Structure 1
């Protein structure tokens, strides 16, 4: 069978590639197809992440074994597409180059019979130009962390700092500068 994926760059602009690949190929083969489809050099590390229908990231599937014991951690080469993704579990997240964090949403769009004379993987469709740099990712609680910073603001100026002297009284215990490391 042929798996047809839509691979969407996580950016405001519509930038995606449609890729057809055999169900007996591995996630590493899909990684290579994505790298080629988007014009990367393939020299950076990458990982797939399982996810739910809302794209909530779950288990990492790395390109290379990064575990403490060699051979203990499964890699992309160990996951056959037909055993990993299907009509119900049809989404996976792909991250390429962990310094720049190129992030893609990969969705299985169709499962079809292979076409005679087609070499797989096959780039079916390309839409949008790749930006020169990876899109900025907003990590955190959607701006809510900005509200927290104001909570600790103080209005002390140089004159107010005079109220602090060299000796400190905390909880009834005296501390002076010589007790501080």
Structure 2
């Protein structure tokens, strides 16, 4: 049974990517869930894949469900479409769009095909993580919530250009000696 390795890039930053391995008989819905897990996103929004060419042009749509929008061709459904059925060449590309309000876009490229599956791996599996992934809701620093607490406690947003008025003699008059 063939195992496919896809490299999934964040569209805005190709230094941020995840490599995900999946069996060719698994569905696009399983790949969708694997991508969300790899980038630590929740599963609360709509999503769609597009078969793509080398120029990243959107082709046939493979969607989570049929959405209320016009389609050029009837979309395939993720849970009924196997990944192997949509592979046209050895470096097949897909575009994945998640959460249509935020429009998270990922570029997916087939980078390796293996004939043997590993019985110790549950597919889909994230096998490589490169770069710090985006935060699905808002921004979060490397310090996470701790930095937010510090920021609120010391009101770091108040000063202009990073400086406050502390320690400056604004209203004192020292010439009365």
- Alignment TM-score > 0.5, same fold: yes
Aligned-residue offset at 1:98: 0.5
Residue by residue, what CA displacement relative to the aligned partner does 1:130-151 show, whole Å, maximum 9, x if unpaired? 23368xxxxxxxxxxxxxxxxx
CA apart distance, 1:86: 4.5
Q: Write the deviation string for residues 38-83 of structure 1: whole angstroms up to 9, x where unpaired.
A: 0011101000011111111122221012369xxx753111211111
Structure-2 separation of matches of 1:130 and 1:73 = 29
Cα distance 1:20–1:67, how it changes in 2: closer, same or farther (>3 A)? same
TM-score (normalizing by structure 2): 0.68
2:22 is the alignment partner of 1:7: no
Once the two structures are superposed, the pairs formed by residues 87-106 of structure 1 within 5 Å of their partners are: 87-88=89-90, 90-106=92-108
Distance 2:101 2:38 in 1: 20
Aligned partner (choices 87, 110, 133) of residue 85 of structure 1: 87
Larger radius of gyration: 1
Instruction: Give the conservation status (yes or no) of the 8 Å contact 1:4–1:20.
Output: yes
Q: CA deviation at 1:87?
A: 3.1
How far did 1:10 drift? 0.6
Pairwise CA distance, 1:7: 0.3
Report what 1:34 is aligned to: 35
The alignment yields a C-alpha RMSD, in angstroms, of 2.1
Measured after TM superposition, the shift of residue 115 of structure 1 is 1.6
Which of the residues 119, 123, 127 maps onto 1:120? 123
Q: Gaps (5+ residues) in structure 2?
A: 138-177
Larger mean Cα displacement after TM superposition, 76-85 or 125-134: 125-134
Identify unmatched segments of 5+ residues in structure 1. Answer: 135-181
SS of residue matched to 1:106: strand
- Is 1:75 matched with 2:77? yes
Conserved? CA contact 1:63–1:77, under 8 Å = yes
Alpha-carbon separation, structure 2, partners of 1:73 and 1:58: 10
- The count of corresponding residues between Structure 1 and Structure 2 is 131
